Amino acid sequence: MKISMGKLPQQNAYVERVQGTIKNQYFSELDVTSANLQSLTRKIIGYYNNEKPHSSLKMMTPSIFAAQISQQTKRQRPKLKIHDGYAITVQKKSIIDDMEK
């Protein structure tokens, strides 16, 4: 895992959710050892980003969603509501950075 800093404190919740999902839904069911940790992590992240549809992305995989976002102008991109009164535009780089974690 890479150490990263979000632009807003509220962004940490998204990262924590993904890490919690990976830990609780995948690692808890596997025989994880120090010898296979990196291999299993790559497989889980590949599945999570490329095969598993996400309801928050209208049942698209994150990789398909990122490809669609990269083809849109900034004005066309969806807004993410971080908290009341504040929204950010989805940026291709931030999605790819999140996918690499």
pLDDT tens-digit profile of 54-81? 898 889 999 999 899 889 888 888 776 6
- 18 found inside a domain: yes
Domain encompassing residue 93: 11-100
* Structural domains counted in the chain: 1
- 27 found inside a domain: yes
- 6 found inside a domain: no
pTM of the complete model: 0.60
pLDDT score for 101: 47
pLDDT score for 82: 58
* 3-state secondary structure (DSSP) of residue 87: strand
- 93 found inside a domain: yes
As a whole number of angstroms, the distance between CA 59 and CA 66 comes to: 13
- 1 found inside a domain: no
- 3 found inside a domain: no
- In contact, 70 and 44? CB cutoff 8 Å: no
- 95 found inside a domain: yes
- 51 found inside a domain: yes
Name residues of the chain where pLDDT drops below 70: 1-6, 8-10, 80-101
Handedness of CA 13, 18, 21, 23 (dihedral sign): negative
pLDDT score for 27: 85
Sorted by sequence, the CB contacts under 8 Å of residue 83 that are 6+ apart come out as 10
Among the residues of the chain, which ranges form H helices? 11-21, 37-50, 62-70, 92-100
As a whole number of angstroms, the distance between CA 85 and CA 79 comes to: 12
* 3-state secondary structure (DSSP) of residue 25: helix
